[in-house]
Structure 1
Amino acid sequence: MLAPAVLALALAAPGARAQLDALEARRRAEETAVRMLAQQERSVLDTLAESETALAEAVAGWRQAEAARAAAAASLERARQDEAAAQARMQARLAALRPRLEARARLGRTGELQILLASRSLADLVKRRYLMDRILSRDLALLGEAQAAKQDRERARAARQHEAVRLATLAEEATERREQAAARREERETLLAALRSARGFHERAAAEASQQSRKLAEFVATLPPARAGAAPSGFATHRGRLPLPAAGTISVGFGKVVNPKFNTITVQNGVDIAAPAGAPVRAIAPGRVVHAGWFKGYGNIVIVDHGDGYHTLVAHLASMQTAMGEDVEAGAVLGTVGDSGSLKGPYLYFEIRERGRPVDPAQWLSAAR
């Protein structure tokens, strides 16, 4: 064990504290992942879904706290501007009032009386009295405006001080929320690493994914048929000429897939498209959205009915920008590429089904031919 003095020197090195904090966070994440997966009867996909939910809630809390912090910062800036404006008004009124008061002080009461006594006539006396009253009224008005500006300044100063305290509190909360989100993200990444590196976890995940694939097929079969009397869509005529739903390349094809690390075989009813996270996912042809929501093992999915018994499905979306029942045109944005429900990180999973039966998308996409 390091002596306290040596440990103190180590922690004093630049970046040492941050590295130790990162290692501690990873250690906690690994312990959490092992604990979550240690129960052999527990569903791997359910565990992943819970991890994703915790991450989403932490990120949402962070964004909410950050929005509140930004609003408080804007309020603080407005309070500062209000205080500066009130200070400027007060100084301007005092600057205008100062020479007038100094002149009045030099005159004194005797000086004012002399001005009145120097009148050449009664009309001149009345005029001089009127002008002196006007001067006095103007001076009093300037004084009142200066006092009002001072009160405005004090109110703005109090508001600024209040907003400064509130901003500091919200900034601290935003930092805590950000750290919580980072911890949840670390836990999820560690969980995924365990699934990828341990054969037992990998095989369990593959078996559950196969089961969910069958459930997805059953779900698609229950989708409502095309509207009665709807004209043929002509979807089949576009075979070999359809665009990719997202800019990228097909990384894993349709059918049997062999895992190079564990030599396990899984069957894909669609294709994996390597596309950057956040990239728009578009409808490849006109149709109607018949499902937009979460599906275990696939994350956020959108299913579009193109008529004539054809459906397309996009999965693992980061966000969905459409809703069930919405009619969409070719090229309409359905969502964005993400990693919801994914065991592989961000990518897009894509299926084409003909009367419920999965078909190889590569035979339909122009980019794959």
Structure 2
Amino acid sequence: MPAALALALALAAADPRAQLSALEARRRAEETAARLLAQQERSVLDTLGEAETALTTARAELRRVEAERAEASAGLAHAREVEAGARARLRARLAELRPRLAARARMGPAGELRLLLASASLADLVKRSYLMDRILSRDAGLLADAQAAAREGEAARAERAREAARLDALAGEAVERRTQAEARREERETLLTALRSARGFHERAAREAATQARRLADFVATLPPPRVGSALPGGFAARRGRLPAPTVGAIAVGFGRIVNPKFNTVTVQNGLDIAARAGAPVRSVAPGRVVHAGWFKGYGNLVIVEHGEGYHTLFAHLGAMQTAMGEVVDAGAVLGTVGDSGSLKGPYLYFELRERGRPVDPRPWLAP
């Protein structure tokens, strides 16, 4: 029992007001779930899928806005650097020009003419004229560069203002997107809470899950037959008892008939529930070919790998898929990550092993 739940029960037992509050929270969750389902005939799994799609969309929008914010922040930092560089260059050029401009001011309008007339000879005149032209040319270059630096500074200042305004706008949008994502998450959690706490919703979800399990079996039966020469060296059957675990975690629910302790309902489990942290890598247990990688109602993001000899492994409720249909994978290849897509239980990995379409208990096949 989670510590938070144990604490809540203890408080409820000790304080009637806490018990009333817990019952009120449960009632609100069930009412919200009923409103989400709208009609009694509406599919629980469809409603959950829509809530997940809305949550995924909201999170994707939040990631987009955050990426734009990072880009705008980088653009703002760059604009500031350009502006600071332009200002430094302008100060340097003015510092170089200032002494000569002051000297010219002291010489007066006819200062250059007097300097040339003071030449001792024609050669001296030519030399003075040449040096004066060089000085004037360099000063003109410094002045042009100073003007360019001033223009760059102004442009960078304008760009900085634009990026700052864009960053402010994106900050407001990010808050809005985060609020939307949180609302979608709350909606999904409310539905899941009702499914776990209300017998009627739980039984409907169990019936739909059984229907989807049959549809999954039919789907596996329609998968393309193994390619000629695709059998593993020594055969897949020879790997019984030596397969690596598909992810790091303990087996939370085993293969076969499962009795729900709260509602005393019986379901048939065709695979293993492996308790693993969200985002943990999920790996292929043997070489094979990916024959499905996509959404499957009731199983979320589902990857199926064909290993030859009629054997398939199935990995469900993935948070992200990192493979594609038709891809040939080695043992240990990452197929995706642990997630809670299509899950009524939160993040975990659902793992199946099928022999010619028939589910078999994966545990005897896994290495100790």
Q: TM-score, normalised by structure 1?
A: 0.89
1:278-311, Cα deviation, whole Å (9 max, x unpaired): 0000000011111111111100111111111111
Match of 1:54 in 2: 54
Distance 2:218 2:111 in 1: 104
**Mapped contact 2:303–2:316 kept (Cα < 8 A):** yes
Distance 2:346 2:232 in 1: 38
**Mapped contact 2:251–2:275 kept (Cα < 8 A):** yes
Instruction: Using the TM superposition, give the Cα deviation of residue 110 of structure 1 relative to its aligned residue in structure 2, in angstroms.
Output: 4.1
Instruction: Using the TM superposition, give the Cα deviation of residue 212 of structure 1 relative to its aligned residue in structure 2, in angstroms.
Output: 0.6
1:142-194, Cα deviation, whole Å (9 max, x unpaired): 11111111111111111111111111112211221111111101111111001
Instruction: Using the TM superposition, give the Cα deviation of residue 210 of structure 1 relative to its aligned residue in structure 2, in angstroms.
Output: 0.7
Q: Kindly tell me: are residues 243 and 230 of structure 1, through their superposed partners in 2, closer, same or farther at Cα, counting changes over 3 Å? A: closer
Q: Give me the identity figure in percent.
A: 74
**Mapped contact 2:29–2:193 kept (Cα < 8 A):** no
Instruction: Using the TM superposition, give the Cα deviation of residue 115 of structure 1 relative to its aligned residue in structure 2, in angstroms.
Output: 2.4
**Mapped contact 2:276–2:349 kept (Cα < 8 A):** yes
* Equivalent position amino acid for 1:72 in 2: A
Instruction: Using the TM superposition, give the Cα deviation of residue 35 of structure 1 relative to its aligned residue in structure 2, in angstroms.
Output: 0.8
* Equivalent position amino acid for 2:302 in 1: I
Match of 1:8 in 2: none
Aligned partner of residue 319 in structure 1, secondary structure: strand
* Equivalent position amino acid for 1:182 in 2: E
1:236-261, Cα deviation, whole Å (9 max, x unpaired): 11111111100111110000111111
Match of 1:238 in 2: 239
Instruction: Using the TM superposition, give the Cα deviation of residue 128 of structure 1 relative to its aligned residue in structure 2, in angstroms.
Output: 1.4
Match of 2:6 in 1: none
Aligned partner of residue 163 in structure 1, secondary structure: helix
Match of 2:361 in 1: 360
**Mapped contact 2:232–2:287 kept (Cα < 8 A):** no
Match of 2:277 in 1: 276
Distance 1:175 1:231 in 2: 53
Match of 2:339 in 1: 338
1:129-151, Cα deviation, whole Å (9 max, x unpaired): 22222222222221111111111
Q: Which runs of 5+ in 1 are unaligned?
A: 1-25
Aligned partner of residue 88 in structure 1, secondary structure: helix
Match of 1:328 in 2: 329
Distance 1:112 1:189 in 2: 86
Q: Which runs of 5+ in 2 are unaligned?
A: 1-25
Match of 1:9 in 2: none
* Equivalent position amino acid for 1:50 in 2: E
Aligned partner of residue 366 in structure 1, secondary structure: coil
Match of 2:123 in 1: 123
Instruction: Using the TM superposition, give the Cα deviation of residue 57 of structure 1 relative to its aligned residue in structure 2, in angstroms.
Output: 0.6
- Which sits farther off after the overlay, 349-358 or 28-37? 28-37
Instruction: Using the TM superposition, give the Cα deviation of residue 88 of structure 1 relative to its aligned residue in structure 2, in angstroms.
Output: 1.0
* Equivalent position amino acid for 1:168 in 2: D
Instruction: Using the TM superposition, give the Cα deviation of residue 126 of structure 1 relative to its aligned residue in structure 2, in angstroms.
Output: 2.0
Distance 1:345 1:76 in 2: 40
**Mapped contact 1:30–1:187 kept (Cα < 8 A):** no
Match of 1:348 in 2: 349
Match of 2:41 in 1: 41
Match of 2:80 in 1: 80
- Which sits farther off after the overlay, 33-42 or 212-221? 33-42
* Equivalent position amino acid for 2:98 in 1: R
Match of 1:224 in 2: 224
* Equivalent position amino acid for 1:96 in 2: E
Mapping of residues 1-369 of structure 1, within 5 Å: 32-231=32-231, 233=233, 234-367=235-368
Distance 2:30 2:70 in 1: 34
Q: Kindly tell me: are residues 127 and 357 of structure 1, through their superposed partners in 2, closer, same or farther at Cα, counting changes over 3 Å? A: same
Runs (4 or more) in structure 1 with deviation over 2 Å come to: 26-34, 109-118, 228-233
Distance 2:230 2:340 in 1: 36
**Number of aligned positions between the proteins:** 342
* Equivalent position amino acid for 1:57 in 2: T
**Mapped contact 1:29–1:183 kept (Cα < 8 A):** no
Distance 1:96 1:154 in 2: 21
Distance 1:146 1:28 in 2: 69
Distance 1:120 1:326 in 2: 90
* Equivalent position amino acid for 1:149 in 2: A
